[in-house]
Each structure stands twice: as structure tokens, then as C-alpha cells.
Amino acid sequence: MDSRIYTIGSLGKHTGLTADTLRYYEKIGLLSDIPRSGGQRRYTSQHLEQLKFIRRAQAMDFTLAEIAQLLKLRVDPVGSRAEVRQLAEEKLHIINQRIKTLRNLHKELKGLVDECHHAGPGACPIIKGLEK
């Protein structure tokens, strides 16, 4: 196992996260057991891996609360498989709903923009459409 130690600054560079975000993650319990030396946090490779997991989960639109739950379930990936799958299925449903909503918004806004391009002088069709 990699035994590298990272300062908050170097860990931030590896993850793209700010020091404030790393402190916040510690405060809310996403990162724990962070040893200190001379008052400074000393992150390990395990923390780096946790942060990569967190970032990937965020990219999949999981909330921090959901990520906290996933991190707990990550300890036993075999025993927690059904629960993790349920969380992922729920997230997928939410994403599909959002896609449907965005498609409808796209269609509506595109129609308003097209109408605006073809409208003569007078009131803006986009403003009129938003007032409905």
C-alpha cells in the first residue's frame, strides 16, 4: 500500500478541491481519521482514494448525503450490493426525470427563439412566452 502523506495543499492539487472543501468534508464526516502533526492535517493515500470516489459519485449526481451513505456501504461491497443498487436505481430515475424535463424545456425555448426570429416588429415573443 502506498504510504505517501499529503498536506491539505498537495491533496487539493491532486483532487482539484480547495482546502475549504477538504475541511468541510472532514467536518461533515465524509473524511475521517485524519491524523495531525504539529496541528497540520496529514492525509494518506486512503484519503486520496476516498476523495476520488467522492468526486466520481458527485459527477454521477449523488448528493453529499448519498455519498456519505455510499462510503459506509463501500466497506462491505458484497454485503451492501442490493442497497447500493437501490440507491443507484433511484438516482437513475431522478436523472431520467430531469432529462425529460430538460427535453421539454429545450423544445419550448427553441420554439420561442424560432418564433422570435420570424416575428415582425412588436412585442418580444420570448417575453410573452415567459409571461404565460
pLDDT (tens digit, 9 = 90+) per residue, 40-93?
999 999 999 999 999 999 999 999 999 999 999 999 988 999 999 999 999 999
* Residue closest to 64 by CA, chosen among 75, 53, 48: 53
| pLDDT of the residue at 120 | 80
Query: Which grid coordinates are listed for 61?
Result: 449526481
**Cα separation, 112 vs 114, whole angstroms:** 5
CA 101 centroid distance within chain: 20
| pLDDT of the residue at 12 | 95
pTM above 0.95, yes or no: no
Q: How confident is the model at residue 2 (pLDDT cuts 50, 70, 90)?
A: low
- Topology given in CATH for the domain delimited by 1-75: Multidrug-efflux Transporter Regulator; Chain: A; Domain 2 (1.10.1660)
* Residue closest to 27 by CA, chosen among 16, 41, 37: 41
CB-based burial label for 6 (10 Å; 0-12, 13-18, 19+): buried
Query: Which grid coordinates are listed for 7?
Result: 498536506
CB-based burial label for 53 (10 Å; 0-12, 13-18, 19+): middle
